Structure 1
Amino acid sequence: MKGYALVGARVVLEDRIDGESAVLVRDGLIEALTAPGDLPAGVARIDAGGRYLTPGLIDLHAHGAAGHGFDTPSRAGYESVLAAHAGFGVTAMQASLATAALGSLAETLAFGAALAAEPPGDGARLLGVHLEGPFLAPEQAGAHDPALLIPPSARAVEKLLAAGRPTMITLAPELPGGVEAVRAFAAAGTVVAIGHSQARGASFAEAVAAGVTHLTHLWSGQSSLTREGPWRVPGLLEESLASTGLTAEVIADGRHLPVELLRIAARCLGGRLCAVSDATPGAGLADGTPYRLGALECVVEDGVGMLPSAGCFAGSTTGLDRMVGHLHAAVGLPAHEAVATATSVPARVLGLRRQGTIRPGNLADLALFDEDFTARATIVGGRWVVDKDGIGERAHD
């Protein structure tokens, strides 16, 4: 295969923007980052027209898009969601499952794990399944049905692990059996995150010692500062911001968190901050459109998902590309740092060694963006699965 080279792009590297180099793609891999004059003969040159060329975005936390959700074990539905997120510049993602009955979760987990083992199709890669529940604190249920929340008994944990190892689980470790569940999932190779939780102090520290490495969506489903007499007691939020070594998510859709909180997160977490879409089946749909998230009826309202019965957010309706743009333009992160929150940081969370950065030997999972980080093209394993402007046509010559 002759391959092709992307030239004329602003290549987003881990520590800077490179406006001089070409990226050579061959056999599904990034073969070289080199001067355009040093490209081998016979390689098609594709002019990126000054757009940002980034590693493909990696979304760790998304429930659906375009009217379809990962909660339903349907190949057509999953493929529709993966294709919709590829339109946001996403080349790899986890299927996040909202709280449901244990048997239903096990069935969907088995389906998703099997599908993730297949080669990617015409959308983003499916990395595996993220269980957001059912082991969550009722006080922090958010858009999860409280009636379906259960403590993480050894039997429940074993049933889920037997169905198909989740790549990530969000749980509340302060629940009875919580720390034991952390140990069991971590031992199985699952990334364990604290979320929808009241964990603080000793319970937080014990969970981290047991294997927690990640924190699910800051300020959403997290307990915060309380007072016991004259004493101020940090909640999960403050424990998260003060943590060292843990990675943490933000939903940077301009709805869930104001700019000031995103700036606090960036200052506290630095290179450990991870942007996630938390996109629902409502992503890409018009205001007023209803959708289901797990067992609950939700609606798109003012550009965000809402749970009318509880008056709270129910996930986002925004793609990850717009969140990167918001972190850059509104929050003020340099472009390469904003991109890192959706590329190299989530790759590090899951231990993906050949994704998340533009370097020789990595998978050719790439994306092209306009100045405001609107996705224009998405490349998965060297294949142009999204090409809104037709600029990648020469890749098929």
Structure 2
Amino acid sequence: MDYPGLKIINAKIVTPTRIIKNGTLLARNGKIIAIAEGNIDSEAETVIDAGGKYLSPGFIDIHVHGGGGHDFMDNTVEAYLEIARLHASQGTTAFTPTTLSCEQDALLKTLSLYEESEPLNKDGARFLGMHIEGPYFDMEQRGAQDPRFIRPPDPKEYQEILQHSSVVKRWSAAPELKGAIEFGRFLKSKGILPSIAHTNAIYEEVLEAYENGYTHITHFYSGMSGVSRRNAFRYAGVVESGYLLEDMTVEIIADGRHLPPALLKLVYKIKGPEKIALITDAMRAAGMPPGESILGDRRNGLKVIVEDNVAKLPDRSAFAGSVATTIQLVKNMITLADVPVIDAVKMMTITPAKIMKADDTMGSITVGKDADLVIFDDEINLHKTIIGGKAVHAI
């Protein structure tokens, strides 16, 4: 007799097109093997009664710096593993570890530690590849990025970095910088996603960048230009470009702080759930009490203060990072932006999976895909995180 490893019953199964009420899911060897409305006559080693709660694909966070008191720039295996565990406890089943602008030696070490940590990650969110954020940014739009390291693209430098490691899957840069278009073409030729970030570009520059591989915009609205006036003439900025270019994907920090409800609603209304990924952009203070913290490397990073559910510069002049978790993002889109559950889940699952070209194995509850799942209730409170058919967090 066949004994699938996992059976989840009595669930509201969230698919990209509908919600299956009183649904059943079967998984074996970490893969989904069946879904149906009503019961599936099959035994399993583990049976979970969802109790009428939602069963969703696992949440995919394509921009995260840290959590649980750790940052990837700490450059320790412990940091990688503890961040993965912390975010798994909040519904994240896969994510892209993200760097900050830094010296090349520090970046190379971070990439090496990714490779060292990945095979040791047994009970945390899966690694989806590295996201390098910086240092090729516009100085005026650097935000909390360290100005000591901001510089234009250097072919010798970025080629050496990518020869050193094959784990880079995404790189954020300002496309108006000298050499940035060539940089984007080079990334695209290597199968790496060039993303627009920390930029003062105007529409014409964004359009050229889009044509050369920059098909995604990092933390939309944050660290980028809007309409500007130059010599009496007005120019559309990156924000307007993101709306005008229909196939451009964007990511938003839906923590309720970086973008108010009105802007969450606007982005959703214009771009739609197929072009929006929800991201935490979380720093080390995610999952930690309010108070003082550090953005980036614990030894020489930027001191920040965490209050009002967001990290701020010490003088409170600007935000310095998010402390959000993925379950909070989904809840905020539903409660603050009036987005239907199915679309909020889509922006946290299949859309980021497609952006990262990982949708062949994850991002939706589909037969043959990874059994990466979350269970949450009608108030969008997390009850269980399942990775590869194994529960790694439950309440």
TM-score of the aligned structures, taking structure 1 as reference length = 0.94
Query: Counterpart in 2 of 1:355?
Result: 362
Report the Cα offset of residue 114 of structure 1: 4.6
Distance in 2 between the 1:47 and 1:37 partners?
11
Residue 38 of structure 1: CA displacement?
A: 3.0
Report what 1:285 is aligned to: 288
Q: In structure 2, how many angstroms separate the alpha carbons of the residues matched to 1:181 and 1:91?
A: 31
CA drift at 1:289: 3.0
Are the equivalent residues in 1 in contact too, given 2:185–2:213 (CA < 8 A)? yes
| Equivalence for 1:32 | 34
Q: Show CA shifts across 1:197-235 (max 9, x none).
A: 112232211111111121101110011101246643101
Q: Distance in 1 between matches of 2:153 and 2:131?
A: 16
Q: 2:204 aligns to what?
A: 202
Using the TM superposition, name which of 58-67 and 194-203 deviates more: 194-203
Q: C-alpha deviations, 1:115-153, integer Å up to 9, x for none?
A: 34x374111111111111111110100010112111111
Contact 1:91/1:365 (8 A) holds in 2: yes
2:161 aligned with 1:160, yes or no?
yes
SS at structure 2 position matched to 1:257: coil
The aligned amino acid for 1:164 is S
- With 44-53 and 314-323 compared, the bigger mean Cα shift is at 44-53
Cα distance per residue 1:355-390 (max 9 Å; x no partner): 0000100000001112222221111111111112xx
Which is worse superposed, 104-113 or 64-73? 104-113
The amino acid that maps onto 2:282 is: A
1:52–1:368 CA contact under 8 A, matched in 2 = yes
Partner SS, residue 73 of structure 2: coil
CA distance in 2 between counterparts of 1:176 and 1:139 reads 16
Task: Number of aligned residue pairs: give it.
Answer: 387
Structure 1 CA distance for aligned equivalents of residues 344 and 103 of structure 2: 37
Report what 1:276 is aligned to: 279
- The answer for the alignment partner of 1:383 in structure 2 is 390
**Partner-residue secondary structure (3-state), 2:184:** helix
What aligned pairs does 1:123-142 form with structure 2 within 5 A after superposition? Answer: 123-142=124-143
Match of 1:115 in 2: 117
Residue aligning to 2:150 = 149
Report SS of the residue matched to 2:107: helix
Task: Identify the residue that residue 393 of structure 1 maps to in structure 2.
Answer: none
CA contact (8 A) 1:113 1:129 kept: no
Matched, 1:342 2:343: no
What residue is the counterpart of 1:60 in the other structure?
62
What is the TM-score with the length of structure 2 in the denominator? Answer: 0.94
Following TM superposition, by how much is the alpha carbon of 1:307 offset from its aligned partner in structure 2, in angstroms? 1.6
Structure 2: distance between partners of 1:296 and 1:38: 54
Shift of 1:309: 4.9
In the alignment, which residue of structure 2 is the partner of 1:392? none
- Aligned 8 A contact 2:7 2:44 in 1: no
Letter in 2 for 1:359: T
The residue type paired with residue 387 of structure 1 is A
- 1:1-397 matched pairs, under 5 angstroms: 2-41=4-43, 44-116=46-118, 118=119, 120-165=121-166, 166-228=168-230, 231-270=233-272, 271-294=274-297, 295-309=301-315, 311-352=317-358, 353-388=360-395
Give 2:154's aligned amino acid: S
* Shift in alpha-carbon separation, 1:49–1:267, aligned structure 2, 3 A: same
Instruction: Pick which of 100-109 and 301-310 moved more.
Output: 301-310
Give the CA deviation at 1:311: 1.8
CA RMSD of aligned residues (A): 1.6
**Code of the aligned partner of 1:367:** V
Partner of 1:394: none
* Alpha-carbon distance in 2 for matches of 1:115, 1:208: 34
Q: Which amino acid aligns with 1:67?
A: G
Q: Is the 8 Å Cα contact of residues 31 and 370 (structure 2) preserved in structure 1?
A: yes
SS in 1 for 2:94: strand
Inter-partner Cα distance in structure 1 for 2:176 and 2:291 = 37
Between stretches 341-350 and 282-291, larger displacement belongs to 282-291
**The residue matched to 1:91 in structure 2 has which SS?**
strand
Secondary structure, in 3 states, of the residue corresponding to 1:97? Answer: coil
Question: How many Å separate the matches in 2 of 1:369 and 1:90?
Answer: 13
Structure 2 gaps, min length 5: none
- Secondary structure in 1 matching 2:130: strand
Report the Cα distance in structure 1 between the residues aligned to 2:243 and 2:182, rounded to whole angstroms. Answer: 24
Distance 1:193 1:159 in 2: 20
